[in-house]
Amino acid sequence: MKLKHYLVDYAMLLGVGGLIVALDQWTKYLIRANLAFGEVFMPDFWLTQYVRLIHWKNTGAVFGIFQNMGDVFMVLSFIVAAAILYFFPQVPRKDWGLRLAMCLQFGGAIGNLIDRLTRGYVTDFVSVGNFAVFNVADACISMGVAVLVLDLLIRDQREKRAAANLPVEARELEAGELEEGKGE
């Protein structure tokens, strides 16, 4: 029974993460194969000021911060991926927000880790306005953080609503228990 539980959990994590890695590596391959380093491409000229593709090398973190620290981020990627692999089966299945966030972050971390291990840098290619150049893996890591924050906010609101709906006696009892705990 326990083994089946782990297999289902890891199938989800590796399935979603694998799709992210595949999409990330495929898009990076297309950029490296079709654009010279630094070359910009956008088929509709008027969009170029807003969104464009550019072949760029990133030796830092997400969105190009902390340049020339690739080895540090390689180690961090291994740690993050290992932590997600370890903790993912422990997250209840009903906690879909946290599970989705972990899948997105896992896929993004592995996608960029592959680049760091095989090339020594990460290929970035999406440039929006004056924002830093990024890739599919970076976007998934960022979306994973956003999903996590949104999930925590929703959970907090639910808990506040549930506490507000408690009968008066239960709230007084809860408040009294909290006051007793402060004095200890």
* Helix 2-34 with 96-119: angle, nearest 10 deg: 50
pLDDT at 162: 80
Taking the C-alpha atoms of residue 27 and residue 107, their distance in angstroms, rounded to an integer, is 14
9, 124, 151, 156: which is the annotated catalytic residue?
124
Q: List, in sequence order, the alpha helices (H) in 92-167.
A: 96-119, 136-164
Are the CB atoms for 109 and 41 separated by under 8 Å?
A: no
* Helix 96-119 with 136-164: angle, nearest 10 deg: 160
9, 115, 138, 151: which is the annotated catalytic residue?
138
Which residue type, as a one-letter code, is found at position 153? L
Taking the C-alpha atoms of residue 69 and residue 72, their distance in angstroms, rounded to an integer, is 5
Residue 25 has, within 13 A of its CA and on its CB side, a CA count of 17
> Tens of pLDDT along the chain (184 residues)?
577 878 888 999 999 999 999 999 999 999 999 999 999 888 777 777 788 899 999 887 665 556 666 678 788 899 999 999 999 999 999 999 999 999 999 999 999 999 999 999 999 999 988 888 899 999 999 999 999 999 999 988 888 888 777 666 655 555 555 555 555 5
Taking the C-alpha atoms of residue 12 and residue 143, their distance in angstroms, rounded to an integer, is 18
Can you list the pairs that 40-44 forms with residues at least 24 positions away whose Cβ atoms lie under 8 Å?
A: 40/127
Q: What is the CA radius of gyration of the chain?
A: 22
Taking the C-alpha atoms of residue 114 and residue 78, their distance in angstroms, rounded to an integer, is 11
pLDDT at 105: 96
- Residue 124 falls in the annotated catalytic set: yes
Q: Indicate the pTM of the whole model.
A: 0.80
- Residue 95 falls in the annotated catalytic set: no
Helices (H) and strands (E) in the chain, counts: 5, 3
